[in-house]
Amino acid sequence: MMRYGTLSILCLLSTNLLADSSFIQSEYSEEAFSITEFDGEVESEFSTEIGASITSGNTDTQTYKGKAQGSFTHQLGRASYHGEYFKKSSDQAVSAEKWKIGVKNNFDFSQHASSFMTAEYEQDQFSDFDSVATFAAGYTQLMFNEEGFKWHADIGPGYKLKHNPQESLSEYVMHLGSNLSVQLSDQAQFIQTLVADLSLRGDSSDVVRAESALLTSVLENLKMKLSYALKHNSNPADDNVKLDTQTTVSMVFIF
């Protein structure tokens, strides 16, 4: 009963925030760089992900993607961390290059509830702001954990620092997060992540990031990953579009 009561509170808070948010009038979402939740029964886990696409001929195009992530339990809860890099170039002209690092720590209240603190830093020379730092803290609820179906939800206040050569801005946001994991079979797993930083000012940007991923086992410690990621900025600069998407096939090495 407590689980569903918490869900109702989260839904009510989210509805009130969205009502005053510029995101409610925009389309859905952009490219997701988010921290993957690992199984709480595993004491520690570390994985690396590598993907690349190289074409030659009339057009020379290269795309590279790398990711490292891990988590470990401690006496009071669980900590996770990640780092990512993405670059795309065509005929030696770089059209996308960004990297991101982040950490998240959960302090357990009970088997289903915990507090969280998270910090992320991103650099993207082709975005409105070439560097963005985000800090958030709040409440995490394990909504479901039954028969290969696991769902975490986060909610809490946050703070963003954004910088480009022309200006530096800071703003308060409401941070919402969701991590859904479904074990489809012994060899296949589906993961859906969603992170929304909703500005508490109507004239600022709402940023929503999401990723849908299907992982299939190739070997015991090797998986193939097909992912579709998207990022939506409700109020981009004049020469930028609201929606960025990315579809990748990569290999994941688990240690």
Q: What is the pLDDT of residue 189?
A: 95
104 burial level (CB within 10 Å; 0-12, 13-18, 19+) = buried
At 67, the pLDDT band (50, 70, 90 cuts) reads: very high
- Examine the pLDDT at 171 and tell me if it is beyond 50: yes
pLDDT at site 28: 33
125-129, 151-155, 215-219: segment of lowest average pLDDT? 125-129
Cα atoms in the 13 Å half-sphere on the side-chain side of 219:
7
Q: What pLDDT does residue 126 have?
A: 80
pLDDT band at 218 (very low <50, low <70, confident <90, very high): very high
Query: How many structural domains compose the chain?
Result: 1
| Least confident piece of the model among 2-11, 48-57, 109-118 | 2-11
Q: What is the pLDDT of residues 22-43, one digit of tens each?
A: 443 333 323 333 333 334 456 7
CA distances from 155 to 10, 38, 234 (A): 7, 19, 20
pLDDT tens figures, 93-102? 888 889 999 9
pLDDT the model gives residue 53? 82
> In whole angstroms, what is the distance from residue 112 CA to residue 110 CA?
5
CATH code, 104: 2.40.160.40
What is the torsional sign of CA 224, 118, 172, 127? negative
Residue 222 has pLDDT above 80, yes or no: yes
What's residue 54's pLDDT?
82
| Number of residues that this document lists for the chain | 255
Residue 55: predicted pLDDT: 84
Mean pLDDT of the chain: 82
Q: How far is Cα 247 from Cα 255, in angstroms, rounded to an integer? A: 25
Q: What is the pLDDT of residue 37?
A: 39
- CB-CB neighbours of 39 under 10 Å: 10
**Boundaries of domain holding 207:** 2-254
Lowest-confidence pick of 2-6, 148-152, 225-229:
2-6
**CA separation (Å) from 90 to 63, 66, 87, 125, 254?**
9, 19, 10, 16, 31
